[in-house]
Structure 1
Amino acid sequence: MNRNKILLATLLAASVFAGPSAYAQSWVGTADYTAGSSEGDEDVVGPFNTYDAGAGVVLLQPTGMSGGTFTFDGVYQSYVTKHELSGVPVVAAGLDDTYELTAVATFTESVSAIGGITVTGGTFNLYRDTTRDRDYTTDSGFSDGEAILTGTITSGAGAAAADLSFGVTDITIAITDYDTSVFNPDTIATGGGIFTLRMGSELDAPFLSGITSVGGNTYDAGSGDLLYAADGYLALAVPEAETYAMMLAGLGLVGFMARRRTRSMI
């Protein structure tokens, strides 16, 4: 990794890990994952306000290019590794033992010549399944459980390395439906969520080995498809307007600094 990429990666990572605490939290509560289950061997988790997804995968398929800006259809699949309350891990004894939580998102985005990412729409779903059957290589087990939370991706902004090897995006989600028997208090619909997606790393190659499709979409490198390792955070919160504007300004600054750094090295 060259110095320019290290600089950009550092700035992007800083923008992410400063993220969840910068939002005005609209929901803090518990989740009862025994809801709707005849087994009764899951656990009640909380209070928490953030889902932390582990090593996942993103597939970007190009849909066009105009004036140096590329457009893509994207799909993301992962699973929840832990719950957090304002950045502090919360115990979930049965997670990945007696049940799994999987996250699936589809989205459309554009990437400018200077690495600016704009997300224009999509969907987000969180599933609970008492059968731990997710499998990246067979592209199965991610959306076969009970959908306990669904949302519409309304917008998003981020930044990527010039060669698209690394990127970070903050995505705004409007929660459209959720299982009121799972979440307490059942007031999530009055808010929404911020989904922070980081994709690309030096571990891409070994992690992605054997993956040929994501969410039923075939990966074809010859057609310009891009496949990334990724992780994500879903904060059940709504950003304050002023804070969100500052966040976007910060992401714009990242792109400007990366471009300026590149020119200075020529």
Structure 2
Amino acid sequence: MKKLTLCALTSLFALSNYAAAGPVTSGFNNLGTVELCDDCYTSEVAIGFNANYFGDTYNTTYVSNNGYITFGTGQGDYTPTGLTANYLGAPIIAPFFSDVDTRAAAGGTVTYGNGTYAGGNAFGVTWNQVGYFAARDDKLNTFQMILVDRNATGAGNFDIYFNYNQVLWETGEADEGVDGLGGISASVGFANGSGAAGTYNQLAGSLVNGALLDGGVNALTANSNNGVTGQYLFQVRNGVITAVPEPETYAMLLAGLGLVGAMSRRRQRKAAV
């Protein structure tokens, strides 16, 4: 069974070698690097501004190796339970919730830090060339989440950017994936963990085999909701998440609009290699 561990921090890591051309940007690495690990998360990290997320205001977060951040407490959950009414956990922002494993020799790292982006102070996390459980590096993903301070528009307001350069795997082996594919596929979106109506949003293609991969029907690297290929922008105003106006061809599933059913059961892990 996989064991949950608290990550050690390595400061001032230099980010390099992005997998492919795309919107993922360097520079968000001055606060630290998540230890090469499986199912770990950082200690509490300051984001640099106040963020009103579903009615609760936070100025710190926890970075999970498994493709997301949480508020209030750290979390290393690896099975991508759908970010819908059935998600009961820490408040979460997930650019790619799946079973990331950075222990493989050819795999990359997870870094985080402060900077500026889209005209505002920002906090970003980059999963650069990361592999999947169990320590596999035959397929690698590069993606990023950036939070941008918009307190000038109202206390606690902020924007969320999801950036994707390469998405080649979707599932770890302990979630019935084979060579990174199939099984319980990744989910992308947001939730405050209460399961209450209006407290979760999930992108189309979440939990659907092959949908979010490069070449898939909802390929994260090929689509957008703001005109920048591979990028998705969500505005959080007064604690409520909305997508920016988007072309019909980029439509997403949001709360109450035919969300993909959540996978509520958990799988027993086989021993890590």
Does TM, scored on the shorter chain, surpass 0.5?
no
Q: Which has the larger radius of gyration?
A: 1
Instruction: Give the TM-score normalised by the residue count of structure 2.
Output: 0.28
Structure with bigger RCO (C-alpha 8 Å, 6+ apart) = 1
Q: Which has the higher helix share?
A: 1
Instruction: Give the TM-score normalised by the residue count of structure 1.
Output: 0.28
